[in-house]
Amino acid sequence: MRVLFFSSQTYDQDSFSNTPADHGLELHFQPARLSEDTAPLASGHEVVCAFINDDLSAPVLKRLAAGGTRLIALRSAGYNHVDLAAAKQLGLAVVRVPAYSPHAVAEHAVALILALNRRLHRAYNRTREGNFSLHGLTGFDLHGKTVGVVGTGQIGAAFARIMAGFGCQLLAYDPYPNPELLALGARYLELPELLSQAQIISLHCPLTEQTRHLINPQSLAQLQPGAMLINTGRGALIDTPALIEALKDGQLGYLGLDVYEEEAQLFFEDRSDLPLQDDVLARLLTFPNVIVTAHQAFLTREALAAIAATTLDNITRWAAGNPQNLVEG
């Protein structure tokens, strides 16, 4: 069975090639992003393995199905970029990786908090230029601070455990309270209450119609002045242009993003020799209290190995007529 990987990077080829080779699959790697124009590359491949910024809209799915594709294997947990109704109509099965390493994403969120708080990005650049002044590098103790966790699934719970270890007070928002957070002493609140009480807010919820632009001008106005906002979830959880005004007037004191609503045409590529065409992102990058990383929170050896193992297992089980991790439309 032939499998074509779209949006594949060197680390994808390494992780999938290093898994046991008894799966009987013929793996092909394509660096191009899946789109209506590149879909014909999958002709003759029964399985297409797609990543988060690949286009899996109805027109693309129609082209894949016409070329003989029968399974869409997502090497990600999120599936908001898939037209599930179209997939069902075309007879395309969709499988995903529901969990890989929640620690990878949670630890990256904490890294953003620490870097922003202690101005590590600014200090690093200064010392490389021979500037050893401490002016403007004052941070704060995390111990005793109130941290709001928005979305308390596996990643949110891993993040909460780490912040509890720092001695932080935990607030949480999720329609389905997690007993693990309650055991850590977290208090579940409605979102406006959480936003008004937490000094640090970290987003770990999936992207749905209910959570799209969960953070918007109205919710930003509910923050404590100078609060820190971290997003390692999905870019569209935030109305990104609204962040600029909140940063300018000091309502938002720190911002750490590993995801961006318009990242599809930017992230995972070296564009350092090209002008940045995205005016919103360009403006955000001018603020000294903002750190943006290019969707790398998942990027650990352990997470990549788990993604590869689960994806290949999803494909072989589907081929054997015993599918798992199906995404139902």
Which of 108, 119, 234, 261 is an active site residue? 234
Q: Give yes or no for a contact between 116 and 145, defined as CB atoms under 8 angstroms apart.
A: no
- CA 211 from chain centre, in angstroms, equals 14
Say whether 213 is catalytic.
Answer: no
Angle between helices 301-319 and 102-117 (to 10 degrees): 150
Q: Give the helix ranges, DSSP H, for 25-68.
A: 58-66
Which of 63, 75, 81, 295 is an active site residue? 295
Which of 143, 263, 283, 302 is an active site residue? 263
Q: What are the residues whose beta carbons fall under 8 Å from the beta carbon of 275, sequence distance 6 or more?
A: none
Say whether 234 is catalytic.
Answer: yes
b/e code 125-160 from CB counts within 10 Å (16+ = b): ebeeeeeeeeeeeeeeebeebbbbbbbbbbbbbbbb
Strand order in the sheet with 187-188: 187-188, 169-173, 146-150, 200-203, 227-231, 252-257, 290-292
Q: Give the helix ranges, DSSP H, for 152-216.
A: 154-165, 179-183, 191-197
Say whether 263 is catalytic.
Answer: yes
Cα–Cα distance for residue pair 18/278, rounded to 1 Å: 37
Positions marked catalytic: 234, 263, 295
